[in-house]
Structure 1
Amino acid sequence: MATVIVQQQHTLRHSTPPPSSMSPALMTPPGSDRVTVKSRRSSIRLSVIPSFPTPPGAKVYGINAQTLGEALGYQAAQPLPDPAHMFPWLHGLHSDNHVQLGFFASRKRTQRKPPKAWRGITLVKLGGDLTKSRIRGAVSPNEVISPLSRFLMADPPEGFSVRNFHIQTAKLAPLSDIVIYGADGVDREELIALADEFSLAQAAWRLKYDPMQERKSYNTFVLTSSFSEFAQKCPSWVSADANGYLTGSCMDLVQWERIEMANMSRASEISANVWLGPTPEYTVHPDGYDALEKDSYDLMIEASDVASIPGPRFLAAIDKKLESGAQRIEFPSSGSIVLPSDNSRELEDFVNTVRWIYYLAHPEPTEEMDHDGDVETRSPRKPVRVLIHCGDGYTESTLLAVAYFMFAEGVPVNEAYLKLHCDRKRNFFAYPTDVAFLSHIQTRLLQESPANKFTQPTELSDPDWFLRIDGSLPSRILDYMYLGNINHANNPELLWALGIRRVLSIGEPVSWTPEQRDKWGEENLMYIDNVQDNGIDPLCQEYGRCLKFIENGKNDKTATLVHCRVGVSRSASICIAEVMAAKDMTFPSAYCFVRARRLNVIIQPHLRFVYELLQWEEFQTQRLGGSRRRKLEWASICREIALLNKPYSRT
């Protein structure tokens, strides 16, 4: 087993060296079968803290900043154990949860035992305030230990899930060496007292789960250096400084997702003088105005769930106000307008608003009478720069954006979908009610559009592929790779219109006619069988041929649709693997990259798929000859994913 001994000479009060039999070790997981790792040892001696009146069985050791940094770095460079050693135990196998047990371990009681292949490091911050003075991967005490000095029982006692990301921190803490630290100025007695609790918890866990002492001891350490000293000596391991500012040296998935979302949906011009994008973050100018609004856009239209369609009087008032400066208005969000009747005032106001935006962006010369009764033509005023925006830049604003594009470009709704997505490179998400509404009003919009090229717009009919969509298009992850569901896959005319010429089916075959298969060619269709989203079936053995299939499409300058049933787990995992390989990204970065581009759908690769993707990261870095250090450890990644998904979980 690859082992690093991290011992140091440091005296807390009047400490003495422990007997040689007590020499503890911070150990990292062993190398997998395909990677050989040379062990590295340090001969620095560690000190015990005997002068503190520790309860019977409690052993607490000191560790300084440099040694802790080396241990964390060493652990991050070690390969993960083979998934067969960790699953299904990581899914959570509570003795009372007969559903979970019956599915995973009904015949193999050995699968319920904690794996011997794992040994980690769990950092615990005294007080639990992780908004400041946070070392990468640190957790609060109540996430892993009870008031009775026992490790929490993480396994859920009921229900079935293969996505128990939230239990991983508590589940793996008993299989880890514990390091206790605190913010600057923390009471050392409190640190030692908390360390004693963890040491007792380790002893109790060992008595219950390892009575034969088949494992080497897990140990509890106290960071003897101050947080400031650790931050100075090991800055790459600090997530948030003493003032609560993120350092940027460690990955924060919530922050990284925001960055990827902003990159994906940043504002772009969809038609002359009209932009579509996310709600900007403003900076206040010293003179008292909003610099971004004043300098970039004259009119900002925010799509909002609580807004109503503006009437003509309101628009006329805004028109006058535009002469004195930038203005903001609201408009109903996508999915909030139901199909109206032909004589509906709502429809009239909707079309009138679209027309009003167009003539603000395309002002025309005006004719007025002068004092002598002659007609005088005045030059048009400066075009108004308009931003249609919402929080994510693609959901709430879709209805107004598509309707405006239809009017400004003189195209029916199905062409607007394709041109916005393919030509303007905009990602957007519409609801079925939006499709019905836009199809209903397209004749009216085209009749009044200055760009209309249809002599008889009343005779327009939507193509079959458009009638079959639920409002959303498959998600463009890369220019040559889309992620979607089985409904997208079974609409080959839609895929063809989007420039997709290859389909990779993960566990779910397409239902196409022989004629459709002949048109595409069997060489452009691949079906990966025997991979269910059950937490048991591995997917990593399919990475090679799946990514080769995608690469062939890229070389042919065509796009590939990757799909499973819903497009959130199996196919999302393949897309993450491709992004990692193509863009040389770590798993956390690629996960956020794909997640941001899945458009209003939360990707949810289950625990085993995420574990395999972390191993794929190891393989990629080894192949490229780079550093094998993970940006985040397994428990930290699972904790971050759980935090990302918490706002969407059922309560």
Structure 2
Amino acid sequence: MNLSVDSIDSIDSVERRDSAISDITVNDSKDNLPFEKKSEPIFNAGIDKDFIKKFNSKCRHYNDNVIILNLEQSIELINYYYSSNNELDSTTSMFPYLHGLTNSRQRIFFNKQFKNLNNDSFDLNQYKKYDFEEELKLKQFHLMILNSQDEDFRLTNSIDYKKVLSTIDTTIQSDGDLNNRNFKEQLNLYGRISQFVIYNNHCQFDINLKAALEISLQYPSQKVYIMDFNFKMWKNFPMEYLNEYNFEKISNLPINSVNNKVFNCKLLKWEQNLLWKFNSMKWLNKNICLGNLIDFNYINNLPKNDFDLIINCNEFCSIPKVLDSNYIEFPSSGYLDFNHCNLNDLINYLNFLKLIEKLVHENKNIFIFSFDGFTGLTLLTLSISLILGEGHLEDLILQLYERNDYIKLYYFKNDLVFLKKFEKFIFYGKNNFKIGEKLNFINYNHLPITKINNKVDWFNYNKDNNFPCKIFKNLYLGSLNHANSEIILKTMKFNRIISIGEKPKWVNYEKKNLLFSYLNEQDEVIEIFELKIKDPELPHLKSVIFINNLKDDGKDGIYELLMTVPKHIQSKYLINPNDLTKTLFHCRIGVSRSASLVIACLMKYQKLSLIESYMIVRINRFNIIIQPNLRIFYDLYLYDDHLSDRRLHTWYSLCDEIYKLNRNYIG
């Protein structure tokens, strides 16, 4: 899976408020600014102290901060932590703290007093003017579940206790980068406002006590609870709090490793298996089937299969020279450069396509697969469409996306550059070339070059030309570029567009189109418009919902959109995927604001949890890593709690798993 390496690094900067960085003047002095280091941890000021006080009073105390729990008390504490009585803290309670305010630039930008509406620059020495109280007024009883010894944790949402011992340096740096996707630091930030419960699978008290004392030494103002009961009593622990219950589906997934490398986090295993499931065998035509590695393993293990030729697209091979086998390897998408191919390479490629053409005409079946089932085989799929079809490359791509049966493709820029140059060979070879022949021209550069036809509003070989992706039934996710393209809208035949924070250039609206508005925390107006579309050039498109002024900067959230906007207005942008209305969601890139609303749609109508919805949107967004900013993701976390009968995940464990998942792609 070739996820875009620059996708997460870039989205922090591209969708941020104007002047968020450039209008802050940095003092040239290298001396630290006079920011005080706070030695006391941030602590709860509004939690249910009556419950905590009564609970602690009936437990056995090792010392003032370390408390011993029997089985019944352990269950009572965990029950309370996950219950609705332990109300989750609101976004306004947890932010901007969870952004990790470790540098002056971060602290100023996320200060509610800092508006910067007039592009006023100021010196960082004025930091104190914009400082805010760090002490949080929290309602929730925060608890971190720590394991002192094991690799496979028994309790769900557990982490290794050593992770909370590596604390954040609270010294505030005099400068730094803005970061509103700081998933890595959430364990440490959450640890500073939490109490702790520690256990191990075999209930070894001495090991737990040693770990508890280490934690207590580092967090002297916070309680550490030790679970102390016979390990045989785990059978009496409520199943909903056990990993083997919550992650049973993931544990039982058939694929546990790739190339003998075991998946290093639950979500990576889940992601890869979902990719294979969503990109399993689809027919390009009645003779050619596209699939993935798992499909191939299944077919290969059958006593007899129905395929006369199997083609493996991978990055470890070159254009095949010999075509005398029913199993052939072919270069993966993204790995061929036309300028690095010689004439023999091009002849071999054409020979290969003519073989496929011959088999199709003989009504023989062909199975083409790549590792993930779409990325690696796209180049060959488009080449086959050219040799079998009529029209130029752009026309054939559009024909694939006009089909009722959705076939996922992902092509790299150099794939289209290669195919556009190779297109003249294919056109020549359709009628003037037989398998094994030599090309009967001397200088192939003199063959007429096919020009990009009138699809100029989309196909540009210096840019990403991929189409919006299907997330679930009639929900599609894309970018502002997609919404601006007449070709995309005509081809995909969208009935409705939902634009979040970014308006398509062809959309004009007036106040009469306003459905609803509200003030955000920055006292800025968020407006929701509905425009009825009657365009003979776009007969399928009926409406555009435009949510104006919602930014992806870590300040703006979507809680109001999900929870406080009237229901009849919510129904305009929280769409049931089962509706027949084909809908395109987009923001600027399609990774944060619009992706979050699509996630919310799945949560609301498909009754899926936040993490399930997140993973489905993520694996269907092609090779771009979707990642809502922390503020928006926390709003989704609150929405998940609102929709769910019981709380399944904790903020710190969710963020830790997502960080570990992303680390596999961006380091």
TM-score, normalization by structure 1: 0.74
Q: CA deviation at 1:305?
A: 2.2
Kindly provide the CA deviation profile for residues 162-220 of structure 1, in whole angstroms up to 9, marking residues without a partner as x.
0111111121123222111123274x3222121122223332xx3xxxxxxxxxxx421
Aligned to 2:561: 542
Whether 1:525 and 2:544 are equivalent positions in the alignment is yes
| CA 230–514 in structure 1, closer or farther in 2 if over 3 Å, else same | closer
Q: Match for residue 435 of structure 1?
A: 416
Residue 453 of structure 1 corresponds to: none
SS in 2 for 1:61: strand
CA distance in 1, matches of 2:657, 2:45: 21
Q: Is the 8 A contact 2:394 2:452 kept in 1?
A: no
Shift of residue 438, structure 1, vs aligned partner: 2.5
Q: 2:624 aligns with which of 591, 594, 601?
A: 601
For 2:384 and 2:504, the matched residues in 1 are separated by: 35
User: Is 2:311 aligned against 1:301?
Assistant: yes
- The counterpart of 2:387, out of the listed 400, 404, 407, is 407
Structure-1 separation of matches of 2:53 and 2:575: 46
Q: Would you say 1:276 and 2:287 are equivalent positions? A: no
Partner of 2:242: 238
> Aligned partners of 1:307 and 1:591: how far apart in 2?
35
Report the secondary structure of 1:160's partner residue.
Answer: coil
The Cα of 1:103 is off from its aligned counterpart by 1.0
* Contact 1:240-1:246 within 8 A present in 2 as well: no
Instruction: Within 5 Å, give how 1:339-358 maps onto structure 2.
Output: 339=338, 344-358=343-357
Residue segments in structure 2 that go unaligned for 5+ positions in a row: 1-43, 112-126, 254-264, 432-447, 510-532
Closer, same or farther: CA 362–337 of 1 in aligned 2, 3 Å: same
Aligned pairs for 1:212-611 within 5 A = 218-227=222-231, 229-230=233-234, 233-239=237-243, 252-280=266-294, 291-292=301-302, 295=305, 297=307, 299-311=309-321, 314-316=322-324, 318=325, 322=326, 327=327, 329-339=328-338, 344-363=343-362, 383=364, 385-410=365-390, 412-421=392-401, 422-442=403-423, 444-445=425-426, 461=453, 463-468=455-460, 470-512=464-506, 518-519=535-536, 524-543=543-562, 548-550=571-573, 557-611=580-634
For the residues of structure 2 that align with 1:465 and 1:60, how far apart are their CA atoms? 66
Partner of 2:34: none
- Structure-2 separation of matches of 1:362 and 1:46: 81
The structural deviation recorded for 1:415 is 3.9
Q: Secondary structure at the match of 2:338?
A: coil
Which residue identity does 2:593 align to in structure 1? R
Q: Equivalent residue for 1:372?
A: none
Residues 276 and 294 in structure 2, CA contact (< 8 A), matched pair in contact too: no
Given that 1:28 and 1:119 are in contact with CA atoms closer than 8 Å, whether structure 2 keeps it comes out as no
Counterpart of 2:60 in structure 1 is 48
Query: Aligned partners of 2:349, 2:198: CA distance in 1, in Å?
Result: 61
Distance 1:279 1:640 in 2: 26
SS at match of 2:165: coil
Q: Which of the numbers 84, 90, 95 marks the counterpart of 1:87?
A: 95
d(CA) in 1 for partners of 2:197 and 2:224?
Answer: 6
Q: What is the one-letter code of the residue matched to 2:547?
A: I
Q: Secondary structure at the match of 1:221?
A: strand
CA contact (8 A) 2:424 2:450 kept: yes
Q: CA 1:281–1:555 in 2, change beyond 3 Å: closer, same or farther?
A: closer
Note closer, same or farther for the CA distance 1:548–1:42 as it changes in structure 2 (3 Å cut).
same
Equivalent residues in 2 for 1:96-107, closer than 5 Å: 97-105=103-111, 107=129
Choose from 139, 142, 153 the match for 1:117: 139
Larger Rg computed on CA atoms = 1
The Cα shift of 1:542 comes to: 2.8
Identify the residue that residue 512 of structure 2 maps to in structure 1: none
Distance in 1, matches of 2:177 and 2:279, equals 38
Structure 1 partner of 2:443: none
RMSD, matched Cα: 3.8
Q: Distance in 2 between matches of 1:58 and 1:355?
A: 80
Spell out, residue by residue over 1:437-487, the C-alpha distance to the aligned partner (whole angstroms, 9 max, x if none). 33333454356559xxxxx99799353345247331111113322211121
| Shift in alpha-carbon separation, 1:126–1:485, aligned structure 2, 3 A | same
Structure 2 vs 1, CA of residues 475 and 227 (structure 1 numbering), >3 Å: closer, same or farther?
A: farther
Q: Please give the alpha-carbon distance, in whole angstroms, between the structure 2 residues aligned to 1:498 and 1:265.
A: 20
Change (3 A) 1:584 1:310: same
Distance 1:306 1:156, change over 3 A: farther
1:525 is displaced (CA, Å) by 2.1
C-alpha distance in structure 1 between counterparts of 2:653 and 2:405, whole Å: 38
Alpha carbons of 1:296 and 1:133: their partners in 2 closer, same or farther (altered >3 Å)? farther
Q: Aligned pair in 2 of structure 1 residues 300, 72: CA closer, same or farther (>3 Å)?
A: farther
CA change 1:100–1:44 in 2 (3 A) is closer
Q: Is the 8 A contact 2:574 2:601 kept in 1?
A: no
Q: Decide whether aligned partners of structure 1 residues 178 and 267 sit closer, same or farther in structure 2, where only a CA change above 3 A counts.
A: same
Tell whether the 8 Å contact from 2:144 to 2:196 is kept in structure 1 after alignment. Answer: yes
Structure having greater relative contact order (Cα 8 Å, sep ≥ 6): 2
Q: Which position in structure 2 is the counterpart of 1:167?
A: 185
Given that 1:93 and 1:112 are in contact with CA atoms closer than 8 Å, whether structure 2 keeps it comes out as: no
Residues 328-379 of structure 1: CA deviation (Å, up to 9, x unaligned): x321111222235998332222222122234345537xxxxxxxxxxxxxxx
Residue 268 of structure 1, CA deviation: 1.4
Asked if structure 2 preserves the Cα contact closer than 8 Å seen for 1:28 and 1:120, the reply is no
TM-score by length of 2: 0.72
Residue number among 636, 643, 659 corresponding to 1:613 in the alignment: 636
- Count of aligned positions: 542
C-alpha distance 467-109 of structure 1, shift in aligned 2 (>3 A): closer
1:642 corresponds in structure 2 to 659
Question: 1:345 is aligned with what amino acid?
Answer: N
Partners of 2:177 and 2:195 in 1: how far apart? 30
Q: Percent identity, aligned pairs only? A: 25
Over 3 Å counting, the alpha-carbon distance change for 1:405 and 1:137 in structure 2 is: same
